[in-house]
Structure formats: structure tokens, C-alpha cells
Amino acid sequence: MIKKFDIDKTKEYGDFEMLPRGGYVCVIMGAKVEERADGSQVIVLALDICEGEYAAYFQQSFNRQTSINKVWPCRYWLNVPKDDGSEHDEWDKRKFKTFTTSLEKSNAGYTFDWDELKFAGKIVGGLFNYREFETSSGTVGEAPNLAQFRSADAIRSGDYKVPKDKKLPAPATFAQTATASPTDSFAALDVDIPF
């Protein structure tokens, strides 16, 4: 016999439409700077869609969560460049500049002044693709992914291109992981073979 629980107080799954890939005008719900173990900083941005058919999409998703540890479903981690001249740092600088320029273009009279607390309530354009993730059961799922920023006007006018989806790396096969030995002889290897 099935073990009983209070089924009358349990919510059913409802219809849920996945956010289509595309550009959306978003509002920044909040921002905070986090320090990493290596001393670098990252700005964590929480966003929601604020215009059009999908306005409040992430708020509705948040409201559907039943876990005690609810998390905001649209967060973006923006690395603060280290200014160390590395190739990765140049990439971080470009992403950071794209964000701040998009923010300034989207909010009349706003000038970026290094204060992340002023991001809350500002609008910005966001380009959403899908990202793959591995589920707890080992299958692959997809979720909307905020990939890049643009100005709100670029989104409204359709002047953008949605980036390709973010796929999980393909699982390694034996052929990809096997390495060829320098010769056909074990003697060519500088290791003791245990047999």
C-alpha cells in the first residue's frame, strides 16, 4: 500500500513556457559585489524582464519555487577585471565595458560611477540563449541563459543577434582520451609496467 501524505495541500505542476531565445528589456532587481578566494571580485546581478509578453517571467518562476532555499532564477556574474594584462582579463574588460555602456545608453542621465548599488531599478537589454546542464538524474536539460548585454533601444529595434546556445562539453570517448605510444614497444615508455 502507498504511504500517505497530505496530497490535498500539494500543488500540481502547471503549464510552464520556456522563455524563447531572443532579446528582452530587463530591469536590474539588485546587485552585489562578492570577493573570491583569489582576491578578485565579481558583481552578481539579479534581473527580470520588464517589457513585453514575458514581463515578470523570472518573478513568476521564483514564485513557483517551493524549496526553502529559493534562488532568483536570472542571475549574471560579471567579473571585475583584474587589470593584469592577461588575455582573460582583456575579455573581462570588454564584457564589463559592454555592460556599463549598455546601462548608460538604456537609462537617460545615468553615468556609470563604480557604485553597484545604483544598478538596482535600471533597465538594460539582455540577449538570452539556452544553456545545457546535467540534471541530478544524469540527463541533460536546458534553461534560459542571459548571455550578453545590449542597450534597451537595440532590443526594442531588433538590432541584435542572439549568441549560440551554450552546450555541455561532449563526453570523452576512448578514442579521444587514448594517447598513442611513441613506438610499438613498451620499452620506449619511461615507466615500469606492472606485469
- Please tell me the predicted confidence (pLDDT) of residue 121: 97
Predicted TM-score (pTM) of the model is: 0.78
- Please tell me the predicted confidence (pLDDT) of residue 31: 97
Instruction: Provide the grid cell at 154.
Output: 537595440
Q: Rounded to whole angstroms, how far apart are CA atoms 85 and 88?
A: 8
Residues β-bridged to residue 48: 27
Closest listed residue to residue 45, CA positions, set 72, 64, 5, 12: 72
Residue spans of the chain under pLDDT 70: 9-16, 172-195
- Please tell me the predicted confidence (pLDDT) of residue 26: 98
- Please tell me the predicted confidence (pLDDT) of residue 136: 87
Q: What is the pLDDT of residues 82-98, one digit of tens each?
A: 999 888 899 999 999 99
Burial per residue of 178-191, b for 16 or more beta-carbon CB atoms within 10 angstroms, e otherwise: eeeeeeeeeeeeee
Q: What is the DSSP string of the chain?
A: -PPP--GGGPPPP---PPPPSEEEEEEEEEEEEEE-TTS-EEEEEEEEE-SSTTTTHHHHHHHH--SSS---S-EEEEEPP--S--HHHHHHHHHHHHHHHHHHHHSTT----S-GGGGTT-EEEEEEEEEEEE-TTS-EEEEEEEEEEE-HHHHHHT---PPPPBPPPPPP-HHHH----SSS-GGGSSS----
